[in-house]
A and B are shown apart, each in its own frame.
Chain A
């Protein structure tokens, strides 16, 4: 899918340029695109280094564990068919807590471990269970509190208030997650 989209963008760009006679702009566009990508990534280093350092402190200081504990009552309701003491529960709450803090690198391994644990409860190993679908729904909606990457890029491009998108992001992510949970409930009740 990604292969196709990438190819379509390049080829259609070429074709449209040929028709419009704007071919002279294309070479420049290539170098310009490549250069801004590298500039953006270098700009990201500063923030990512600092943020990941801070988040490691949060992790070791028990913030992640505390958050996971706080999420437990909510998660129990979301996964009624998983026993409360099952190891899957622990991974699910850790996955959600890591997502909340924007720790994508930590969230994915936790999510995969949760999936593996849910698979042990699955009577039909090739078919997804409702619990798996719920975990997926929460992860694709990806509830986020601090959109670090976006703030960093805004900062690099000279925004006067790079953090101004925090409230809008929190609201939007809440709407999407709530909607995902409601939809998941709806489809779950239909089977």
Chain B
């Protein structure tokens, strides 16, 4: 069996398996599964609605940035590096945006998918970068802010460097899996 087959099987089985096993196990542990489901589902509705203003703001900015041709200038600027590393240049702005703004990078990935199609290599790389990491600056601010830490030592450095590692890993893993 080649890699592509295994990957396809993992991808298509993982969600259905979870959907069946989670309620089944919970039921045997005497959890009122359906009521519990409804209770959690209400939260899901809330969180989907709550991101609307954030996403509108960011998608408008990115749409303007792309349509004006400004994005192309930025992307071309990375051309030399991306050609040398043979990675798609459209994902570079995403790598820069990801640690700074969660909704900003979400908007950028959505835009990538709209322009290039969701099944294109760039979109798959983008989705992997977005899905595999968190907004470093936000996490740092929230966690340290909550307890009043002012000197954060090497935390930011570690966060940003591992974002870079995640970015590089996402690009090459996707190029290996999806090409």
- Which A residues are within 8 Å of any B CB, using their own CB? 1-2, 5-6, 9-10, 12-17, 20, 22, 25-26, 28-30, 32-34, 36-38, 40-42, 44-45, 48-63, 105, 108, 111-112, 115-116, 118-119, 125-128, 130, 132-133, 135-137, 139-142, 144, 146-147, 149-151, 153-154, 157-173, 175-177, 179-180, 183-184, 187, 191
Contact = CB atoms under 8 A, between A and B. Distances in A.
A167 B7 contact: yes
Interface of B: 7-8, 10-12, 14-15, 18-19, 22-23, 25-27, 29, 31, 33, 36-41, 43-45, 47-49, 51-52, 55-70, 73, 97, 99-101, 104, 106-107, 109-111, 113-114, 117-119, 123-124, 127-134, 136-137, 139-140, 142-144, 146-155, 157-159, 161-163, 165-166, 169-170, 173-174, 177-178
Contacts of B139: 111, 136, 139-140, 142
Contacts of A1: 100-101, 137
B14 A166 contact: yes
B132 A53 contact: no
**Which DSSP category, helix, strand, loop or mixed, fits chain B's interface?**
helix
A183 B151 contact: no
B154 A175 contact: no
Contacts, number: 370
Nearest to A133: B155
Given A126-B151, A140-B140, A183-B158, A44 B48 contact: yes
B56 A58 contact: no
Given A37-B58, A48-B44, A57 B133 contact: no
